[in-house]
Amino acid sequence: MPDLEPDKTLDCIGLFCPEPLFQTREQMDSIKVGEVLEVLADDPAAEEDIKRLVKRTGQKIIKFEKKENHIRFLIKKLQ
């Protein structure tokens, strides 16, 4: 399956908790239902924080990757 092209990318590399979480929430609010947000972060806390945020807000992580020095989420807005 080819990689989905995100509608918007949020680069949180270099930011620490709770900044990646706040910015992810803000960006999710700004995109339309059906669109995909790519989030890049290197704060270890961001992995759990963002997974919880997505679950709590009823969105869906369609891809999660741990790269060498950062993590990457593709989050689809469902509602």
pTM of the model as a whole: 0.93
pLDDT value of position 14: 98
Catalytically annotated residue among 7, 15, 17, 47: 17
> Which residue type is seen at 49?
D
Catalytic site residue 12?
Answer: no
Domains of the chain: 8-76 (3.30.110.40)
Contact 21, 60 (CB under 8 A): no
What's the pLDDT at 56?
Answer: 97
* C-beta of residue 17 within 8 angstroms of C-beta of residue 45: yes
As given in the structure block, the two tokens for residue 77 are 């807005």
pLDDT value at position 3?
A: 64
Query: What's the pLDDT score for residue 4?
Result: 75
Given a cut of 70, the residues of the chain with pLDDT beneath it are 1-3
**Residue 2, pLDDT score:** 56
pLDDT at 1: 47
